[in-house]
Structure 1
Amino acid sequence: MSQGKAIIVDYLTSIPAWYLATVENTPEGGRPHVRPFSFAMLQDGEIQYCTATTKDVYREMQQNPFVELTAWKPGSGWVILRGRANLEDRANAQTRKEGFDHMVGLGEDWLDPNDERLTFFTIDDAEAWICDIDGSWNPVEL
């Protein structure tokens, strides 16, 4: 497992929310669409994120897989990770249970961890950095 991936998951899970940007196709062309996320978990050396197949974010990633996430942690700068969303749901039972519990804790309504709307994705060809106010971008080896 990549130590860099563990650093990213630790960063994302130590704050209340982080932000994922997708590309929304509109009649005027592609537009950025950003929303808060808060679940990330390592499984088999990959970072798993979860959402619902019924949400705009899922549809947008189907149409254009390029995504970027960012988060700021006081005293630690901010993280940037970008790549291509891989929507092949490979979550195991433990990841599904933790994602389900997390989403229910946010107030979302799910039947159970195997609810067909609950889906997990990874980000392929990812690049990541920890950035600081001094303008430095420190690469995180994934």
Structure 2
Amino acid sequence: MTANETIIEYLTSVPAWYLATCEGDQPHVRPFSFAAEQDGRIWFCTATTKDVYRELQANPKFEVTAWRPGSGWIILRGRADLDDRANADVRRAGFEHMAALGEVHDGPNDPELTFFSVAEPQAWICDIDGSWEPLAF
């Protein structure tokens, strides 16, 4: 299994995971729950109207973490590439996922719905015993 496949499987196996940004010296953490792979990159979905998007525009560095019982937790670090090149399949899946959460968009091509990918990824699977395993990209 590739690093991307491991990360996608891990993130999509839990109801929510957490994405952290920073605005100045203040960290901001919020739940996310959509992840997909396209063209060898991991893609996330948000809206251009949200603070997270504005924060990633100002400082594209972010971290994601998720805990899965019995499997430790994952940390993914990278830089948000905000150039939305999500294909039709990823856009449809992201739109349907967001709609199921109660978000209202005019469809997969709504200009407020945006997808960003992970550039310069680093990731680790960590355990409570202090051990960690880096994932190779």
Q: TM-score range by the shorter chain?
A: over 0.9
Match of 2:5 in 1: 6
Report the CA distance between 1:45 and its aligned residue. Answer: 1.2
Structure 2 counterparts to residues 1-142 of structure 1, below 5 A: 3-25=2-24, 30-142=25-137
Normalising by structure 1, we get a TM-score of: 0.94
The whole-number CA distance in structure 2 between the counterparts of 1:68 and 1:48 is 14
The whole-number CA distance in structure 2 between the counterparts of 1:4 and 1:79 is 11
The whole-number CA distance in structure 2 between the counterparts of 1:88 and 1:19 is 22
Consecutive unaligned residues of structure 1, counting only runs of 5 or more, are: none
The whole-number CA distance in structure 2 between the counterparts of 1:84 and 1:45 is 15
Aligned residues: 137
Report the CA distance between 1:120 and its aligned residue. Answer: 0.3
Report the CA distance between 1:123 and its aligned residue. Answer: 1.4
| Residue aligned with 1:124, SS | strand
The whole-number CA distance in structure 2 between the counterparts of 1:123 and 1:135 is 26
The whole-number CA distance in structure 1 between the counterparts of 2:72 and 2:47 is 30
The whole-number CA distance in structure 1 between the counterparts of 2:86 and 2:61 is 21
Please list every run of at least 4 consecutive aligned residues from structure 1 whose deviation after the TM superposition is greater than 4 angstroms: none
Aligned-residue sequence identity (percent) comes to 64
Report the CA distance between 1:116 and its aligned residue. Answer: 0.2
The whole-number CA distance in structure 1 between the counterparts of 2:80 and 2:35 is 14
Normalising by structure 2, we get a TM-score of: 0.98
Alpha-carbon displacement from aligned partner over 1:112-137 (angstroms, at most 9, x marks no partner): 10000000001111100000001011
| Residue aligned with 1:8, SS | helix
Tell me the amino acid that sits aligned with residue 129 of structure 2: D
RMSD: 0.9
Consecutive unaligned residues of structure 2, counting only runs of 5 or more, are: none
